[in-house]
Amino acid sequence: MSITGVFFAWSEKYSVNIKAIDEQHKELVNILNRLFVAVSKREGDLVIAAILDALINYTQTHFALEERLMSQAKYKDLVPHIAEHKKLLSELDQLCKKHMVEEQPIYFEMLSFLKSWLKEHIQGVDTKYSEALQKAGFSVVSWEQEANLEFARMSTSKKWWEVWKSS
């Protein structure tokens, strides 16, 4: 099922000029689009929960890899960047709890929040570290290889990506 452009269309204006990061951001956009389709079609709580789990797992791994890149490059704003990552995960957790515990339908609220957050984070914060790394002459080639290997390991050990693609 093609979901490109359904809810959040990827554009080159979101590129941070680091191929591995751009690919991970595109995958986050794809997961958001898949979540939108599931919510719109009322595919059920189990399917939606599986997609949310995939989103959370993928996001956590992406953040960890992105933070490792910034740490290796000695990026000066690493600490506030990590704080933004933690804040997003906390807010996402709160939205999930609000839905599960209070049984409030929050999916469209969550989708809107995630779409806005991702756009603003990529264009506002991620582009800053990308520019700083490029200006400092930091080579991302070896880091990209490491990131690709890490995602390959995840793919072998956790089949989370199959859940949202096949559901």
* Residue pair 71/45 in contact by the 8 Å Cβ criterion: no
In a domain, 9, yes or no: no
Give residue 49's pLDDT: 80
> Is residue 8 included in any domain, yes or no?
no
Whether 160 is in a domain gets the answer yes
Tell me what pLDDT residue 15 has: 93
Q: Is residue 6 part of a domain?
A: no
Residue-by-residue pLDDT tens, the chain, 167 positions: 444 447 899 999 999 988 888 998 999 999 899 988 888 888 877 888 888 888 888 888 889 888 988 998 889 999 999 999 999 999 888 877 776 776 666 778 888 888 999 999 999 999 998 888 888 888 888 778 877 887 777 666 554 445 444 44
Element (H, E) at 146: helix 141-157
Query: Crossing angle of helices 141-157/45-72, nearest 10°?
Result: 150
135: Cβ contacts below 8 Å, ≥ 6 apart: none
Tally of domains within the chain: 1
11 belongs to a structural domain: no
Residue 93's nearest CA partner among 126, 45, 60 is 60
Please tell me the predicted confidence (pLDDT) of residue 143: 76
- CATH number of 98's domain: 1.20.120.50
CB atoms within 10 A of CB 23: 14
| Cβ proximity of 115 and 8 under 8 Å | yes
Q: How many whole angstroms separate alpha carbon 89 and alpha carbon 56? A: 8
Confirm whether 7 is domain-assigned.
no
Q: What does the pLDDT read at residue 154?
A: 67
Burial of 114: CB neighbours in 10 Å, binned 0-12, 13-18, 19+ = buried
Q: Is position 108 within any domain?
A: yes
Output the pTM of the full model. 0.83
Q: Per the domain annotation, does 57 fall within a domain?
A: yes
**Domain extent at residue 111:** 17-166
